[in-house]
Amino acid sequence: MKKTSQPRYSRILLKLSGEALGGEAGVSICPEAVQNMAEQIREVRDLGVQVVIVIGGGNIFRGLPGSERGIERATGDYMGMLATIINSLALQDALEKTGVATRVQSAITMAQVAEPFIRRRAVRHLEKGRVVIFGGGTGNPYFSTDTAAALRANEIGAEVILKATKVDGIYDCDPKKNSNARRFSQITYSDALQRQLKVMDSTAFSLCMDNKMPIIVFDMFRPHNLKRVVLGEKVGTLVTS
């Protein structure tokens, strides 16, 4: 594909896992990993692309494993939502240190540290060139941050969901366990469901499929990969109708 300096997308939603903020260990917050993410996001923002971000909280706490250890499920999920706010503030700090104006909007009210989620306000921030980070998941237990990403992407009119992972796309089996695993450059929603490929949880995936929201799964740990995706290069796996 011929390289271009013109971005393919004007408004994107970037889905980051909490573990990605934890660096190689995948736990707590690794300043170097967060700074690397901020630099990649700034590269894309400098192209004039409007960026919204949804972050998980798995590097700090996950509700489902917590419930398996005796914490009531809804309580555990709320604890996980609070973990996403911590991650959102860490990324906001790193972005603003690179000169990128940023706003955190939370699905759980906490006026001292974040704005409440208001769709029109979020869109206005984007129009003013600010990056918007959505924390707190959907604000409801039993829903993952993947579902929050699918929901917010549709609400604010994003053109694509970019799901950042530690692998370079979707494979027919685990590439870490099988050296013959085959990577898909593109796959349809129905094929992904039929093959039981774990792109997102079923609720999030159904929301994307029903609203024809494309998903690109890619490796954000490779330098400049986010920019390459936004410029339309063949990076990762595209899930589409």
Residue 227 and residue 174 in contact, taking contact as beta carbons nearer than 8 Å: no
Per-residue pLDDT of 45-98, as tens digits, reads 999 999 999 999 999 998 778 878 899 999 999 999 999 999 999 999 999 999
Residue 4 lies in a domain: no
User: What 3 state SS string does 122-137 have?
Assistant: HHHHHHCCCEEEEECC
Q: What CA–CA distance (Å, rounded) separates 116 from 139?
A: 11
Q: What CA–CA distance (Å, rounded) separates 6 from 160?
A: 16
- Sort 182 into a burial class: Cβ within 10 Å, 0-12 / 13-18 / 19+: exposed
Residue 6 lies in a domain: no
Residue 5 lies in a domain: no
User: Pairing between strand 186-188 and 237-240?
Assistant: parallel
Q: Considering its fold, how many domains does the chain have in total?
A: 1
Residue 63 lies in a domain: yes
| Spans of the chain below 70 pLDDT | 1-4
Residue 3 lies in a domain: no
Residue 41 lies in a domain: yes
Residue 150 lies in a domain: yes
pLDDT at 39: 97
Q: What CATH number is attached to the domain comprising 108?
A: 3.40.1160.10
Residue 133 lies in a domain: yes
pLDDT at 62: 83
By residue range, what is the domain housing residue 78? 11-240
pLDDT at 130: 98
pLDDT at 179: 83
